[in-house]
Amino acid sequence: MIQEQTYFQWDEKYNIGIEEIDMQHRRLVQMVNELYSAMYAGEGRDVLGDVLGGLLLYTKIHFQTEERFMKKHDFPEFISHQQIHEKMKARVLELKKKFEEDKISNPVQISNFLKAWLIKHILKTDMKYAYFYKTKKKSEAGK
């Protein structure tokens, strides 16, 4: 096994401060590393398809967790965040399909895309509801 962590290194700045979510984000980063490693090792389409399928499944679970959280705390931008999740799920499904049909010449494109998307989404989008939640909690504590 090659050093998985060198491809997508977890950075403390990705922590949004909500433990359950941070744990899931770490797991997602780990899964992108696993995907990359499998591609790098030249694994066959069956193995890669399974890894990709696992990633898609866990991504769905993660989005559900976030959506439940946002709803529970009345996050005002819930709908637009959910739409971003929907788009991403469709995108990953499409990539998986293309991959299975052998329409992707360089599979590392997939892990590169997932890595870039995840970083951007955590830092720009997930941070928003985390900030909202923390601000709300603080103001409730101050009442």
Binding site for Fe ion (CB under 5 A): 66, 126
Give the shortest CB-8-to-Fe ion separation in angstroms: 15
Q: Which residues of 97-113 are buried (b: 16+ CB within 10 A; e: fewer)?
A: eebeeeebeebeebbee
> Least distance from C-beta 119 to Fe ion, angstroms?
11
Of 39 and 114, the one with the shorter C-beta distance to Fe ion is 114
* CB closer to Fe ion out of 48 and 70: 70
Burial class (CB in 10 A: 0-12, 13-18, 19+), 44: exposed
Q: Output the residue with the shortest Cβ distance to Fe ion.
A: 126
Nearest to Fe ion of 34, 66 (CB atom): 66
CB of 50 to Fe ion, least distance (A): 23
Contacting residues for 133 by C-beta, under 8 A, at least 6 apart:
18, 69, 73, 75
Q: C-beta of 106: minimal distance to Fe ion in Å?
A: 26
Q: Name the CA dihedral angle for 87, 92, 97, 103, rounded to a multiple of 10 degrees.
A: 110
Choice between 34 and 126, CB closer to Fe ion: 126
